[in-house]
């Protein structure tokens, strides 16, 4: 009973923070229209407050890779709406995000997403989708990084789904590296009915270079990236499982 109340309270608080920040930043981004640092400001603010409210532990690894990063196509696993909290803590400066066109109808946040300078992809209209991809090329050529969830949709913790080709075409056509970032499986490690819900591992992997890779090799490039990310997610999940088991053993030993 208490756990369900705690869960509901956390959900309400996070939504309140989300919409309050969206309302505030909507006016900020009107002044800073399409500034390439907008995502950094919103992401880190929302992430910091949310992590404090939820009392989760987020272990970020490989941040030095992003600190040294030049523009790239960032690819990350996509599990749920919770991703905004996790990845907001690590999004690099000068990074744009590709989202679904339907986001524009999402009150406040959809407008903030657009005002921040992000790109909206209409998957149902090929001509308009190609127009968005041309804007992707322009952004990358101007030195911005691009954040894409290559699965195209949320996995809801059911493993890394197959990748779509858009992120890989963008990297190849603009001769920029792919920058994988992975997060441990959320549904296995977090229980928001507890006062301390659990721990998340986020790791920035080594960039995957695309120089010298032809468009004809895109399938093998996708397979390689998928395998690297899937294997690392498994490693992170196993690490959390081992830590959880160790904590249980220590707790039993202490009480006996």
Segment 135-148, tens digit of pLDDT: 888 888 888 999 99
Which of 199, 169, 162, 194 minimizes the C-alpha distance to 184? 199
Q: Are 7 and 88 in contact (CB under 8 A)?
A: no
- Residue carrying structure tokens 């907001």: 88
pLDDT digits (tens, 9 = 90+) for 11-47: 999 999 999 999 999 999 999 998 989 999 999 999 9
Domain that holds residue 77: 1-254
Q: Is 111 helix (H, G, I), strand (E, B) or coil?
A: helix
Phi-psi sector, 67: left (phi>0), alpha (psi -120 to 50), beta: alpha
Give the Cα separation of 99 and 115 in Å (integer): 13
Specify which residues 121 forms β-bridges with.
100
The two counts, helices (H) then strands (E), for the chain are 9, 7
Residue 69 phi, psi (nearest 5): -75, 145
Q: Give the total number of structural domains in the chain.
A: 1
Tokens of 186: 């959320």
Q: For residue 188, give the CATH number of its domain.
A: 3.40.1130
**pTM of the entire structure?**
0.90
* Least confident residue range of 128-132, 134-138, 210-214: 128-132
Tokens of 44: 């880190």
Percentage with pLDDT > 90 across the chain: 57
- For the four alpha carbons of 108, 9, 84 and 223, in that order, the dihedral sign comes to negative
Specify which residues 252 forms β-bridges with.
none
pLDDT digits (tens, 9 = 90+) for 74-118: 999 999 888 889 999 999 989 999 888 888 888 888 899 999 999
Determine which helix (DSSP H) or strand (DSSP E) holds 17, and give its type and residue range.
helix 2-31
Compute the chain's Rg from CA coordinates. 19
């Amino acid at each position: 009973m208490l756990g369900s109340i705690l869960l509901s309270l956390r959900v309400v608080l996070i939504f309140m923070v989300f919409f309050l920040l969206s309302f505030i930043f909507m006016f900020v981004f009107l002044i800073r229209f399409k500034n390439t640092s907008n995502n950094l400001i919103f992401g880190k603010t929302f992430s910091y407050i949310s992590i404090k409210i939820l009392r989760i532990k987020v272990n970020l690894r490989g941040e030095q890779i992003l600190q040294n990063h030049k523009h790239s196509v960032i690819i990350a696993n996509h599990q749920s709406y919770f991703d905004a909290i996790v990845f907001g803590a690590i999004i690099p400066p000068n990074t744009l995000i590709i989202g679904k066109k339907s986001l524009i109808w999402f009150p406040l946040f959809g407008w903030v997403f657009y005002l921040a300078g992000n790109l909206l992809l209409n998957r149902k209209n090929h001509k308009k989708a190609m127009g968005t991809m041309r804007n992707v090329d322009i952004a990358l050529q101007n030195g911005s990084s691009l954040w894409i969830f290559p699965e195209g949709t949320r996995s809801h913790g059911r493993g890394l789904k197959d990748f779509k080709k858009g992120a890989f075409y963008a990297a190849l056509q603009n001769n920029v590296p792919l920058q994988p970032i992975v997060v441990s499986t959320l549904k296995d490690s977090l229980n928001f009915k507890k006062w301390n819900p659990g721990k998340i591992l986020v790791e920035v992997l080594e960039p995957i270079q695309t120089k010298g890779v032809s468009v004809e090799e895109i399938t093998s490039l996708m397979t390689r990236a998928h395998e690297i990310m899937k294997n690392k997610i498994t490693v992170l999940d196993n690490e959390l499982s081992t830590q959880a088991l160790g904590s249980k053993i220590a707790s039993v030993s202490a009480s006996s």
